[in-house]
Amino acid sequence: MEQILVGELFHEETEAGIHRVSARVGAELLWFESSNAQLRLSPEGFASALLIPAMSHGRNLVFEDPLCPEWLANTGRIMDYFSRWMGWKPIRIESRFSGARPEPSPGVRRALCFSGGVDSFFSLLTYPKPIDTLVLIHGYDIWLNDEEGARVVFETVQRVAAEKGLHAALIRTNYRDHPIAGRKYRFSYAGALAAIGHLLDGVGELVVSSGLPRREASFNGSNCETDPLWSSKVMKVDHYGGDFTKNQKIRAIAASRLAQQNLRICQQNFYGSFELSEKFLNCGCCQKCIRTMLVLQQEGHLEDFAVFANKTDLPMHLDRVMKVPPVFIPAFDEIRRGGVDRQAERAIRALKRRSKLLNRMEWAGRRGVKGVFRVIRLLDALERKFFWIKRMFLLSSRH
């Protein structure tokens, strides 16, 4: 099996006060840097970031630096998981270091990966132990070349941290731009998040928020089974929030003034454009916004959230959503059971119906799915017209 050689890690500090930790991975440099947080030389950080990409390449990892025995022991279970789900063969992880391994000191601070979404706000507000640092990574969900988007989001993170008396750290990395590390990010991002905990100096625990409840979690890069396995002797990873649904999390943060002023969940902000203004972090029209706002409406707090550009005509905007992945359908069902008006109930039922159909039509390609969606929209429009005619008839017959 071919090898990926990870050169000796090195640390540098620029005149501008930027701390950077780097290693040559294959033919190109992989780096992490920060101007407001100290970074440490942690081979486990780079190894966590590279394990799943290396598996997907089918190449062994060879390090010039020593690796933590506890971290190494955990990797067998991580690789078993990905072998079972993805069919990738386990790889070997070796170290060429022959001297005595220096014993790093355990960290004492606790950091939370914080993007300003529902999951991370829920963790911030309900995690049972004190959080010291909120961490935003520029180069993962926010593309490295999107400087403006990173600025807008980090300003939000800084506001939240200041309100809670915490430190805010921004980490930049070329991880997703790297030809080896950037592969299969959907499956490797849990290791990439764990890397940040290993690389942040003084951090002994990293809190990673669950994206889906434990009972609904499909195969994903981050889950309650594998996330804790990215831990080492001096840095533990805690996967938090898996006992709650997304809607339960929204209800838990609905009354929080911090969330009302800073929540950022809009899917329009995940594709490098950040077209929305700093005033409105969320469009209020995409399925993710509508799903969140319907729950906030049920809780009586929608009007308190100043971060949505639109808070009206939610059923109409839901009718414009082509489909949602199967994993989100239970969330809409839960909303409908919680009580919505007739228009919203009809829109949710229609969305669920067409999603089940269109999710099975990947064979038709994007253009074919869009064509079928146009036909479905026409039929749904006729159904809505019939709904209003029927309602008017019933009202008139009562008088």
9-63 per-position pLDDT tens digit: 999 988 788 999 999 999 999 999 999 999 999 999 999 999 999 999 999 999 9
* Residue 245: Cβ-neighbour burial (10 angstroms; 0-12, 13-18, 19+): middle
Return the minimum-mean-pLDDT range out of 20-34, 219-233, 376-390: 376-390
The span from the CA of 45 to the CA of 135, in Å, is 15
**Please, what is the Cα angle at 275 between 269 and 276, to 5 degrees?**
80
* Residue 397: Cβ-neighbour burial (10 angstroms; 0-12, 13-18, 19+): exposed
Mean pLDDT of the chain: 90
Return the minimum-mean-pLDDT range out of 69-78, 119-128, 354-363: 354-363
DSSP 350: H
Q: Kindly tell me if the per-residue pLDDT of 272 is higher than 50.
A: no
Return the minimum-mean-pLDDT range out of 21-30, 282-291, 297-306, 390-399: 390-399
Residue type, 327: V
